[in-house]
Amino acid sequence: MHDDVILEIRNVSKSFSGVQVLSGINMRVRKGEVHVVVGENGAGKSTLMKIISGVYQKDGGELLFEGKPIEVKSIRQMQEMGISIIHQEFNLLPNRTIAQNIFLGREPVKKRGIPVIDIEEMNAKSRELLGFLGLNVDPRTRVSSLGIAQQQMIEVAKALSFKSKVLIMDEPTATLTRNEISKLFEIIRKLKNEGVSIIYISHRLEELKEIADTISVLRDGALVGTLDAKEATTDKIIKMMVGREITNQYHREFCTEVGEEVLRIDNLSSYRFKNVSLKVHRGEIVGISGLVGAGRTELIKAIFGFDRFESGEVVLFGKKYRRLNTSMTTRLKVGLVPEDRKDEGVIVEMPIRENIVHASLSQLFKNGILNKKTETETANKYVKELGIVTNSIDKHVMYLSGGNQQKVVVAKWLCAQCDLILFDEPTRGIDVGAREEIYEIMNALVKQGKAVLMISSDMPELLGLCDRIYVMKDGRITQEFSHSEATQEKLLACSI
């Protein structure tokens, strides 16, 4: 058994700015197998793969390739050794041809005379690779004129052109249709027969059965276990993925009597989500569960008027809208606490004071002239109310911790007197103490008769906080649960 192990991961760990994202991972990949790695969002799958492929450096542990310990220094070194990765986001140049993309950075050069790029050879070799993958396109075609599935194949071709022995695919099917997926699987089988090992990351359990030989489950940066695919059942995998006990840090009194409806959307569609309908009432916290890429963020941004939607309508506070923009929604007293806090939530270069008031300038300063005294009083009020830890309201937001930054974002919307606040991953990257405070704030909001719609990938959080939970998958709502019906297993089962 041992001699056909091609890649061994021994005790690998990694932390980012003090947060441990991987701890003591051990894994063995055999020659010519499809080794599937599953885990919830944030379990550390992608980080592990980036370490293997040379994008990140590990903090501790060892990697053994073909029995010999290796020191990973660069992506190029790993590629030449025979380990390539296909990242979740494609890294193709849309304005260049297929051949130019496949040979990016290592174009063949004519041996004689001036070092001219040998375009004929590049095209010929690319044609060969495309032929092997069963792709009938001219290698001189621009990548931008290809569909997503074909672009995926170009990434595969690129990886193969290194004569890879280990090919890592990070959620390759996330953007593919059924048909395209089965084509990809055909190719994976073909590669397997050629002796290529494939590390396949996914959180779509249904598709694993078709291709997996071995399944490793990660949770919270640690390996929970490795199973033979034959003995793995979906239930077993889900249990391993979820694992932990729900501790009660939420202190939520669920609402017994809902207030009036503040938000209703009917058959809302855009290119990232389809026919979504949902409702939110005063006094309610409503959650949206689902996997990364299910279209949740896009949906919430469309409700906020940040992204356009193509059809359907949004009813806010009883009025119908077919088109929204952010200045309309903020005037209607809707606020968004976005996932990307640093770029979209706060203005890091501005002090707390200005961050808090800048969404409500016309409310605070009716005559259009700023008044520092009002500004200071208002900001102080919210800093105290939300317990933002700082020695001065003139401190720039970039110097605050994640939790305090998040409170500033919330303060901004409270200051604007919002009645509906949309939260996108409200506690991501926030330490436990501050998390609880955020939960308290949300609790207090709905007690005052306001409404909250939140997205979270943290299922215990949704279960602990929400009166109702919608589950989204591939841009559609698959199920709605009341607080009493919902369990982690049910949520996960509807989202994969």
Q: In this complex, which beta carbon is closest to other proteins, that of residue 270 or of residue 427? A: 270
Instruction: Examine residue 93 and tell whether it contacts other proteins (CB under 8 A).
Output: yes
Binding piece for other proteins, criterion CB under 8 A, among 109-117, 219-227, 455-463, 482-490: 109-117
Of these, 11, 57, 145, 362, which contacts other proteins (CB under 8 A)? 145
Minimum CB–partner distance for residue 429 and other proteins (Å): 22
Could you say which of 131, 134, 147, 195 contacts other proteins (CB under 8 A)? 147
Choice between 42 and 475, CB closer to other proteins:
475
- Binding flag, residue 229, other proteins (CB under 8 A): no
Site stretch for other proteins (CB under 8 A), options 14-22, 28-36, 90-98, 234-242: 90-98
List, in order, residues 6 or more apart from 266 with CB less than 8 Å away. Answer: 277, 312, 313, 315
Q: Find the binder of other proteins among 10, 87, 342, 490 (CB under 8 A).
A: 87
* Min dist. Cβ of residue 124 to other proteins (A): 12
Q: Is 73 in the site for other proteins (CB under 8 A)?
A: no
Q: Which stretch binds other proteins (CB under 8 A): 141-149, 296-304, 318-326, 389-397?
A: 141-149
152/17 Cα distance (integer angstroms): 33
Contacting other proteins (CB under 8 A), which of 1, 17, 71, 105?
A: 105
Question: In whole angstroms, what is the distance from residue 168 CA to residue 166 CA?
Answer: 7
Euclidean distance between CA atoms 61 and 13, whole angstroms: 6
Helix pair angle (178-193, 148-160), 10° resolution: 10
Position among 228, 271, 331, 361 found at the interface with other proteins (CB under 8 A): 271
Nearest residue (CB) to other proteins, 177 versus 233: 177
Are residues 155 and 84 in contact, defined by beta-carbon separation less than 8 angstroms? no
Among the listed ranges 138-146, 361-369, 398-406, 423-431, the one in contact with other proteins (CB under 8 A) is 138-146
Q: How far is CA 413 from CA 72, 106, 113, 372, 418, in A?
A: 46, 51, 66, 19, 6
126 binds other proteins (CB under 8 A): no
Give 7's strand partners: 29, 65
Distance of CA 37 to the CA centre of its chain: 16
Task: Name the segment binding other proteins (CB under 8 A); options: 2-10, 114-122, 328-336, 347-355.
Answer: 114-122
At residue 253, the 3 state secondary structure works out as coil
Figure out which of the listed residues 107, 261, 344, 440 binds other proteins, where binding follows CB under 8 A: 107
Binding mask 166-195 for other proteins (x = CB under 8 A): ---------x-x------------------
Minimum distance from CB of 361 to other proteins (Å)? 30
Which of 100, 360, 404, 427 is in the footprint of other proteins by CB under 8 A?
100
Rounded to 10 degrees, what is the CA torsion of 257, 258, 259, 263? 180
- Least distance (Å) from other proteins to the CB of residue 311? 13
Stretch that binds other proteins, among 100-108, 232-240, 363-371, 391-399 (CB under 8 A): 100-108
Q: How far is CA 154 from the centre of its chain?
A: 23
Q: Are 209 and 38 in contact (CB under 8 A)?
A: no
Partners of 311 in beta bridges: 269
Minimum Å gap between C-beta 396 and other proteins is 21
* Closest by Cα among 198, 297, 318, 284 to 483: 284
Q: Does 55 bind other proteins (CB under 8 A)?
A: yes
Q: Total residues contacting other proteins (rule CB under 8 A)?
A: 32
Tokens 């396109």, located at residue:
137
Of 350, 341, 351, the residue nearest 429 (C-alpha): 341
Please tell me whether residue 124 binds other proteins under the rule CB under 8 A: no
Could you tell me how far CA 318 lies from the centroid of its own chain? 33
Selected range binding other proteins among 84-92, 205-213, 313-321, 412-420, rule: CB under 8 A: 84-92
Among 18, 113, 115, 368, contact with other proteins (rule: CB under 8 A): 115
Distance CA 202, CA 199 (A): 10
Residues 450 and 418: beta-carbon distance below 8 Å = yes
| Strand locations in 230-330 (E) | 261-269, 276-281, 285-290, 311-316, 319-321
DSSP string, 33-46: -EEEEE--TTSSHH
- Length of the chain measured in residues: 496
- Contacts to other proteins by CB under 8 A: 55, 74-76, 79, 87, 91-96, 100, 104-107, 109, 114-117, 119, 138, 142, 144-145, 147-148, 175, 177, 271
